[in-house]
Amino acid sequence: TRRVTIPELAARKGGQPIVVLTAYTAPIARLLDPHVDALLIGDSVGMVLHGMDDTLGVTLDMMVLHTQAVKRGSTRAAIIADLPFGTYQSSPQQAFDASAKLLAAGAQAVKLEGGRTMAATISFLVERGIPVMGHIGLTPQSLHTMGGFRVQGRDEAAAEKIIDDARAITEAGAFSVVIEGVMEPLARRITETIAIPTIGIGASADCDGQVLVTDDILGLTGDATPRFVQRYADLAATIDEAARKFADDVRARRFPGKAHIFFPKAAQ
Ligand code: KIV
Ligand code: NA
């Protein structure tokens, strides 16, 4: 099997919905790989795996390590990695240097947050051979500007600004854009307006694709998951039960059994 390419994803505008899930580790990437079009190494890794309160403390070194792991664990899904906060906003050159490290780690494209403000940076990267996915609407790295993780584009002026951001990203050469946490009609309008595939999360069923955080759909991230998450499994309960059974077996000296331990030949 051959890996899904970035031009193949870009060509899916208005076609069969693009399926994206996050992955941070090789074993999870291996399990998701047959089912998705792309694996996203999201900077959500900071919150989901490392227990951070937000994504602001995620480093490029973390993203490189998780990208390498996901690349090793997969063979067919396209690999897209987030540029973390502080590694791309100050200049196109800074963005290029950070992106080059993610591509060297195995990513085929990078994702960065921001609209018209980031357009010059997006074209700088694209002209130099780095495919870019945009990310607009609720942009978690702007947590403190938004005053929390809250739905964006509620009034007409805010909606118009997000549409303008989508246009600017498209003109800059992004191959696709994530639309997160906006009112449904706005996500639908952007999808109808721009020529590149939109990937929704808390957006619209009419987006050209959907993305969710894998740990959320597996029921690993606690009870306070956002409204836009659909839970497809309850792995927290499965893990709780496995750990409890192991603890009970150890305390009752039921584990290890004969099958799990080694005896010298003479004693058998
Ligand atoms: O970091 C992330 O996981 C993301 C997706 C939720 C789009 O950016
Ligand atoms: Na992200």
Q: Atom 5 in ligand 1: which residue has the minimum CA distance?
A: 42
Whole-structure pTM over 0.90, yes or no?
yes
> Which is nearest to 236 in space by CA: 253, 252, 214, 220?
220
The Cβ of residue 30 has, within 10 Å, a number of other Cβ atoms equal to 15
Whole-complex ipTM: 0.99
Whether 15 maps to a domain, the answer reads: yes
Model confidence at 267, in pLDDT bands (50, 70, 90)? low
Region of residue 93 (phi > 0: left; psi between -120 and 50: alpha; otherwise: beta): alpha
Contact 132, 98 (CB under 8 A): no
Whether 120 maps to a domain, the answer reads: yes
Contact 111, 135 (CB under 8 A): yes
Q: Atom 4 in ligand 1: which residue has the minimum CA distance?
A: 42
Model confidence at 1, in pLDDT bands (50, 70, 90)? confident
**Beta strands in the chain, from DSSP E residues, in sequence order:** 18-22, 38-41, 78-82, 109-111, 132-137, 176-180, 198-201, 209-212
pLDDT at 150 over 60: yes
User: Exactly one of 160, 171, 180, 184 is catalytic; which is it?
Assistant: 180
Which residue pairs, CB below 8 angstroms and at least 24 apart, start in 253-259? none
Rounded to the nearest angstrom, the distance between the alpha carbon of 267 and the centre of ligand 1 is: 56
Q: Atom 1 in ligand 1: which residue has the minimum CA distance?
A: 42
pLDDT value of residue 83: 99
Whether 81 maps to a domain, the answer reads: yes
pLDDT digits (tens, 9 = 90+) for 201-247: 999 999 999 999 999 999 999 888 889 999 999 999 999 999 999 99
Domains held by the chain: number: 1
Q: Atom 3 in ligand 1: which residue has the minimum CA distance?
A: 42
The crossing angle, in degrees rounded to 10, of helices 119-127 and 92-104 is 50
pLDDT digits (tens, 9 = 90+) for 179-194: 999 999 999 999 999 9
Region of residue 27 (phi > 0: left; psi between -120 and 50: alpha; otherwise: beta): alpha
Whether 1 maps to a domain, the answer reads: no
For the domain that residue 134 is a member of, what is the CATH number?
Answer: 3.20.20.60
pLDDT value of residue 268: 55
Region of residue 106 (phi > 0: left; psi between -120 and 50: alpha; otherwise: beta): left
Instruction: Assess whether 127 carries a catalytic annotation.
Output: no
Quick one: which atom of ligand 1 is closest to the CA of 212? 6
The ligand whose atoms approach the alpha carbon of 40 most closely is 1
Ligand 1 lining (C-beta closer than 6 Å)? 22, 40, 42-44, 82, 178, 180, 201, 211, 213
Rounded to the nearest angstrom, the distance between the alpha carbon of 238 and the centre of ligand 1 is: 25
| Structural domain range at position 211 | 6-236
Residues placed in the known binding site: 43-44, 82, 111, 113
Whether 147 maps to a domain, the answer reads: yes
Whether 253 maps to a domain, the answer reads: no
* Mean pLDDT for all residues in the chain: 97
Could you tell me which residues come within 8 angstroms of residue 39 by beta carbon, excluding any fewer than 6 positions away? 20, 21, 22, 23, 29, 32, 33, 70, 74, 77, 78, 79, 80
60 or 268: which leads in pLDDT: 60
Residue with token string 């603890």: 247
Whether 80 maps to a domain, the answer reads: yes
Whether 260 maps to a domain, the answer reads: no
CA dihedral 162, 163, 165, 166 (to 10 degrees): 120
Residues placed in the known binding site for Mg(2+): 43, 82, 113
